[in-house]
Structure 1
Amino acid sequence: FTTIFTNSMLPSLVPREDTGKISGSGFALGYWGGVLALAIMFPLFVENANGVTLLGNPPLLGLDGATREGTRLVGPFVAMWFIIGMIPFFLWVREKPADVQIEGNTRDALRQLWKTLKSLPKRHSMFAFLTSSLFYRDALNGLYGFGALYAKGVLGWEIMMIGVFGVISAITAAIFAYFGGILDKKFGPKPVLIGTILALITVCVIVVSMTRESLFGFAFAPDSQMPDIIFFICGGIIGAAGGMLQASSRTMMVRHADPERPTEAFGLYALSGKATAFLAPALIALVSEISGNQRIGITPLILLFGISLVLLVWVKPQGDHGE
Structure 2
Amino acid sequence: MSTHQQGPGTPAEAPGPAVGSGRILSRPVLAWASWDWGSAAFNAVMTTFVFTVYLTSEAFGDEARTSQVLGWGLAAAGLLIALLAPITGQRSDTGGRRKRWLGVNTLFVVVLTGLCFFVLPNPQLLVLGVGLIAAANIFFEFAGVNYNAMLSQISTPSTIGRVSGFGWAMGYVGGIVALVVVLLVFISPVVDWFGASSDNGLNIRLVAVFSALWFAVFALPVLFTIPELPRSTAAARLGFLASYGLLLRRVRQMYRQSPHTIYFLLASAIFRDGLAAVFTFGGVLAAGAFGFSTSLVIVFAIAANVIAAAGAVIGGFLDDRLGPKRVIIASLIGLLVAGSAILLLGTRTYSFFGLEWTSDTTFWVFGLLLTLFVGPAQASSRAFLARLAPVGGEGELFGLYATTGRAVSFLAPTLFAVSIGIFGSQLYGVIGILVVLLAGLILLLPVKPPAQVDRAVLPVA
TM-score (normalizing by structure 2): 0.63
Whether the 8 Å contact between 2:418 and 2:432 is mirrored in structure 1 is no
| Number of the residue aligned with 2:391 | 259
Structure 2 distance, partners of 1:241, 1:132, is 17
Matched residue of 1:151: which SS?
helix
Deviation at 1:119, TM superposition (A): 4.6
| Number of the residue aligned with 1:25 | 166
| Number of the residue aligned with 2:90 | none
2:113 is equivalent to residue 113 of structure 1:
no
2:197 is equivalent to residue 64 of structure 1:
yes
Counting aligned pairs with the same residue, the percent is 29
1:79 paired residue among 186, 207, 212 = 212
2:347 is equivalent to residue 180 of structure 1:
no
Change (3 A) 1:130 1:194: same
Structure 2 distance, partners of 1:99, 1:113, is 15
Whether the 8 Å contact between 2:165 and 2:313 is mirrored in structure 1 is yes
Change (3 A) 1:221 1:166: farther
For 2:378, the aligned partner's letter is Q
1:44 paired residue among 185, 196, 202 = 185
For 2:365, the aligned partner's letter is I
| Number of the residue aligned with 1:12 | 153
| Number of the residue aligned with 2:237 | 103
Matched residue of 2:178: which SS?
helix
Deviations 1:191-245 (A, max 9, x none): 110111111111210221233324xxx5689995732133122332232211111
Structure 2 distance, partners of 1:62, 1:196, is 43
Deviation at 1:68, TM superposition (A): 4.7
Structure 1 distance, partners of 2:353, 2:200, is 43
Deviations 1:103-152 (A, max 9, x none): 21123211011223445654431122111111111111222122112112
Structure 2 distance, partners of 1:223, 1:149, is 28
| Number of the residue aligned with 2:264 | 129
What is the number of residues matched between the two proteins? 311
Whether the 8 Å contact between 1:213 and 1:219 is mirrored in structure 2 is no
Deviation at 1:82, TM superposition (A): 1.2
| Number of the residue aligned with 1:50 | none
The 5 A counterparts of 1:239-254 are 239-254=371-386
Deviations 1:38-78 (A, max 9, x none): 2211122213xxxxx4x5x54x4543146553234322222
Change (3 A) 1:178 1:61: farther
Change (3 A) 1:66 1:105: closer
Structure 1 distance, partners of 2:280, 2:353, is 29
The 5 A counterparts of 1:150-299 are 150-214=285-349, 218=350, 226-299=358-431
Structure 2 distance, partners of 1:67, 1:109, is 46
Change (3 A) 1:148 1:115: same
Whether the 8 Å contact between 2:343 and 2:428 is mirrored in structure 1 is yes
Deviations 1:249-286 (A, max 9, x none): 11100122111211111011011111111111111111
Structure 2 distance, partners of 1:302, 1:264, is 30
| Number of the residue aligned with 1:312 | 444
Structure 1 distance, partners of 2:253, 2:345, is 45
| Number of the residue aligned with 2:273 | 138
Structure 1 distance, partners of 2:184, 2:154, is 38
Which runs of 5 or more structure 1 residues have no equivalent in the other structure?
48-52
Deviation at 1:190, TM superposition (A): 0.8
Change (3 A) 1:62 1:151: closer
Whether the 8 Å contact between 1:180 and 1:244 is mirrored in structure 2 is yes
CA RMSD for the aligned pairs? 2.4
Deviation at 1:99, TM superposition (A): 6.0
| Number of the residue aligned with 1:92 | 225
Deviations 1:276-297 (A, max 9, x none): 1111111111121122111112
Change (3 A) 1:77 1:221: farther
| Number of the residue aligned with 2:70 | none
